[in-house]
Structure 1
């Protein structure tokens, strides 16, 4: 079995603020799948997307309560090309209204930092160098 692509669906409170936040971090949206109820955040063109959906519209997809940003149901981790890119994305996120929920961590072969976006979704941004992974 092979998955063609992935769409992570997350509830949001404000379309305009969410779009501005992610644009300020340097990300773009697939306008074909974006409207006044949802944004299709492009994480890796053709492979990985986050559907950022208003609470009202998100509620039409589930019969369970929607997380309000005060609980953790998922940690979304994204890998980038360098340590500097990790630091830059987290810095931009915080400058644009995100909050830090834990300090960065350096394991030599893996470096990551974290933030909670405007809706309380937790994101981990990481860089790995497989050549530095210790042998078991």
Structure 2
């Protein structure tokens, strides 16, 4: 079995958050979704579990962070091209998120931007030159 990642995110409005993640390219897995959670598939190995606060609280005794007021995490997502990075930021902005909460990063071999979902969770979509990533220069 491959290694998998299930990222749990608390969301205030499950239906709105589900629509947002579908708009930016995730697919909802109904088998693991209900009125308390939406299982959003990014890839065969990466799943985002959108959880209503009361359900999220059953997994931790700590207070739930308000991602609009704090930065509990930054989630980096890789893409195959600069155009795909630009496209997901545009989709996020159009779907109710906030695009470019900091200036885009242009490092020559790597290009990155940012967006937040409606709950303030921060994302860093990026593209890296495949030759540079494999040590072949670029």
Fold shared, TM-score > 0.5 on shorter chain:
yes
Unmatched runs of 5 consecutive residues or more in structure 2:
none
Unmatched runs of 5 consecutive residues or more in structure 1:
none
For the residue of structure 2 that corresponds to 1:67, the secondary structure is coil
Q: Which residue of 2 aligns with 1:87?
A: 86
Q: Which residue of 2 aligns with 1:50?
A: 48
Q: Does 1:40 align with 2:49?
A: no
Q: Which residue of 2 aligns with 1:66?
A: 64
Are the counterparts in 2 of residues 108 and 132 from structure 1 also a CA contact under 8 Å?
no
Change (3 A) 1:3 1:73: farther
Matched residue pairs, number?
133
CA distance in 2, matches of 1:94, 1:112: 16
Per-residue deviation, residues 112-135 of structure 1 (Å, max 9, x unmatched): 110110000001101111313686
CA distance in 1, matches of 2:130, 2:84: 17
Give the ranges of 4+ consecutive aligned residues of structure 1 lying more than 2 Å apart after TM superposition.
132-135
Per-residue deviation, residues 34-67 of structure 1 (Å, max 9, x unmatched): 111111111112x111111111100111000001
Q: Which residue of 2 aligns with 1:31?
A: 30
CA distance in 2, matches of 1:73, 1:15: 19
When the two structures are superposed, what TM-score results if normalisation uses the length of structure 2? 0.89
CA distance in 2, matches of 1:40, 1:81: 24
CA RMSD of aligned residues (A): 1.7
When the two structures are superposed, what TM-score results if normalisation uses the length of structure 1? 0.91
Q: Which residue of 1 aligns with 2:77?
A: 78
CA distance in 1, matches of 2:3, 2:16: 30
CA distance in 1, matches of 2:80, 2:132: 15
Are the counterparts in 1 of residues 25 and 42 from structure 2 also a CA contact under 8 Å?
no
Q: Which residue of 2 aligns with 1:130?
A: 130
CA distance in 1, matches of 2:2, 2:93: 33
CA distance in 1, matches of 2:40, 2:107: 29
